[in-house]
Amino acid sequence: MTSVGTADASPGTVDTGRLEVGETRDGSTFGLPVAVVEGARDGKTLYIQAASDGDELNGVGVVQRVVPRIDPDELAGTVIVVGVVNYHAFQVAEHRNPIDDTKMNRAYPGDENGTSSERIAAATYDVARDADLVLDLHQGSTSRMIDEVRVRCGRRHRLHSKCLDLAKTFGCGYVLDQKGPDGQLARVAPSDGVPAVDPELGGAVGWDEESIAKGVEGVFNVLRGYDFLPGDAGLEPQTRAKAFDQYGSPVGGLVRFHHDLGDRVSADETLFEVTDVFGELKARITADNDGIFWRSRRLPQVATGEYVCSVGKTVDTY
């Protein structure tokens, strides 16, 4: 039997419950929604979480579709899912936890006696650190972004190759292989010996069915590729970027892009133009390096110095 919070699953069963992590401002307790799928046969443990950033909803869509489709009688091992991590931010559809103004995915491994975010991070990490694999589902928040998987442990890390393998098995088609900031789950878990990746499933807020479908496929690829479920993961080559060039606007106005997400771009090629409200050209921005048009702002209006787009660079295939 596997227990997480109030969810208790014996072999061949599924249970849902709550992982209690504190109290709200009126003194009532609150807990994170959890599901445990306990396979009929022994095997590894996969930990999945979503919405550690409260406005990144595509991961919740993945969880909503994945859990009912896993047949515990066919499963070897255990799948543990925390469906919403950043409880307070999710309630108000905000990115950061409004209780302590913290980005949750900078709070790992957490502190059980710390701030609201640190306590939630500690409670979820106590579960994640005992798993064999970790998937931390994200999306590009307010930006438009390709579907990708991020390997955040750093290329010199002892688990780097295992994290790359996990990213390839998930199989979005694109991988960002760049060491992440302190406090990211996908960076912290490998330091405790657990391969972990951060799938970034599209962006621009909302509920993107296409990116959700890719995430569902990715989770089942992992379940098959790591022998939780029978079948073939169908590994395919992944396009990998090792860094970004990020571009802001030198002027205020309206952005006109020259590329779609996923396009190959060449150094000195035009990425975007900025015009005034009457269509008069004010600035033309070109690429510094060859790469892939990876991410862009959702709305066209920009102020001087405001973020516009990113190009993945140092690109290869593995």
Of 231, 235, 230, 226, give the one whose Cα is nearest residue 44: 226
E strand or H helix that includes residue 222: helix 209-225
Burial of 299 by CB count in 10 Å (0-12 exposed, 13-18 middle, 19+ buried)? exposed
N residues, the chain: 318
pLDDT at 153: 97
Task: Specify whether the CB–CB gap between 210 and 263 falls below 8 A.
Answer: no
Chain-centroid distance of CA 29 in Å reads 27
Chain-centroid distance of CA 285 in Å reads 29
Tens of pLDDT, residue by residue over 269-286, are 999 999 999 999 999 999
Q: Name the one residue in this structure whose structure tokens are 């002892």.
A: 158
Task: Specify whether the CB–CB gap between 140 and 206 falls below 8 A.
Answer: no
Burial of 157 by CB count in 10 Å (0-12 exposed, 13-18 middle, 19+ buried)? middle
pTM, two decimal places: 0.96
Largest CA distance in the chain: 67
pLDDT at 143: 86
Task: Specify whether the CB–CB gap between 309 and 297 falls below 8 A.
Answer: yes
pLDDT at 16: 98
CATH number of the domain located at residue range(s) 242-317 in this protein: 2.40.50.100
Dihedrals phi, psi of 230, to nearest 5 degrees: -70, 155
Q: Does domain 2-239 have CATH number 3.40.50.720?
A: no
Token pair belonging to 189:
């878990």
Task: Specify whether the CB–CB gap between 227 and 164 falls below 8 A.
Answer: no
pLDDT at 234: 87
pLDDT at 76: 98
What does the domain layout of the chain look like in residue ranges? 2-239, 242-317
- In the chain, what is the straight-line distance between the N-terminal and C-terminal CA atoms, in Å? 39
Tens of pLDDT, residue by residue over 192-217, are 999 999 999 987 777 899 999 999 99
Coil, strand or helix at 5: coil
pLDDT along the chain (318 residues), means of 10: 97 98 95 98 98 94 98 98 97 95 96 97 98 96 91 97 98 96 97 97 85 97 98 94 97 98 98 98 98 96 97 97
Of 266, 308, 263, give the one whose Cα is nearest residue 287: 266
